[in-house]
Amino acid sequence: IAQGNIEAGKAKSATCVACHGEDGNSPSDLYPKIAGQHESYLEKQLIQFKNGERSDPIMMGMVAGLSDQDMKDLAAYFSAQPATPETVSPEIAVAGRDLYMGGDKERGIPACTACHGPRGNGLELAKFPKISNQHPAYLKAQLEKFRSQARENDPNGMMGDISAKLTDADIELLSKYISAL
Ligand code: HEM
Ligand code: HEM
């Protein structure tokens, strides 16, 4: 993994930028930001859209014609772009902190920070993606997809198990909180 060429990726990115933005910071919250995400995670998502392990009608069409090298180059390019931060109200920043940083023992929810880190930067070596600086709407949609098993291909089903224990209110709060970590 991580043998992509940034310049080659930029040259191949023309179709992607229509939705994900010139530098991977999609202006619309209909589409996720992919700027600054770990290279190996981006490559893995593209491979999984291609082999059908992660299903999304739009992205499955996008990757159909990409070679292995195209996916590596695109991952290298978007990973190298800085992500633009989101902001949330101080109330959300305080309310989300307990659950994100400490989990909920009684309900069996692990602390998100254990894998995604205190700033939401994840840990590339362990395959834990960066989740901060992302549109809240996308974070919410992914947590709901994990919960309904519409997205269940994550390694060892980690997010499936965790999201099953989250209420709608938890997901609403965490999505906003994480976006501005
Ligand atoms: C998701 C890359 C083109 C719409 C993603 C993800 C990646 C990606 C890596 C997963 C993000 C994550 O897991 O955090 C690319 C690349 C493209 C491309 C490299 C060009 C080859 C497009 C275009 C559109 C689009 C043109 C819109 C027409 C979406 C949507 C999602 C997504 C809606 C979210 C899917 C979901 O909810 O699971 N893209 N994309 N992408 N992309 Fe693209
Ligand atoms: C992916 C949120 C706890 C491991 C994700 C994503 C979100 C998320 C939004 C999707 C990122 C994207 O599509 O770009 C959360 C929240 C947590 C939590 C809110 C706490 C309630 C954890 C924990 C672990 C973990 C404790 C490790 C045991 C992972 C992994 C992925 C992921 C491996 C990538 C899945 C894949 O490759 O498809 N998480 N997470 N998460 N998370 Fe978590």
Q: Which ligand is nearest to the CA of 33?
A: 1
Measured by CA distance, the residue closest to atom 37 of ligand 2 is 154
**Number of helices and strands in the chain (H, E):** 10, 0
Q: How far is CA 93 from the centre of its chain?
A: 20
Q: Which of 153, 158, 175 for a ligand 2 pocket mutation test, highest count of atoms within 8 Å of Cβ?
A: 158
Q: In the chain, what are the domain boundaries? A: 6-79, 90-179
pLDDT of residue 71: 98
b/e 1-20 (16+ beta carbons within 10 angstroms → b): eeebebebbbebbeebeebb
pLDDT of residue 97: 97
pLDDT of residue 148: 93
Supply the ipTM of this predicted assembly. Answer: 0.96
| Averaged pLDDT, groups of 10, the chain, 181 residues long | 88 97 96 98 96 93 97 98 95 95 97 98 96 98 94 80 97 98 94
Assigned superfamily of 6-79: Cytochrome c-like domain (1.10.760.10)
pLDDT of residue 156: 72
Any ligand 1 atom below 6 A from CB of 42: yes
Measured by CA distance, the residue closest to atom 26 of ligand 2 is 112
Architecture of domain 90-179 in CATH?
Orthogonal Bundle (1.10)
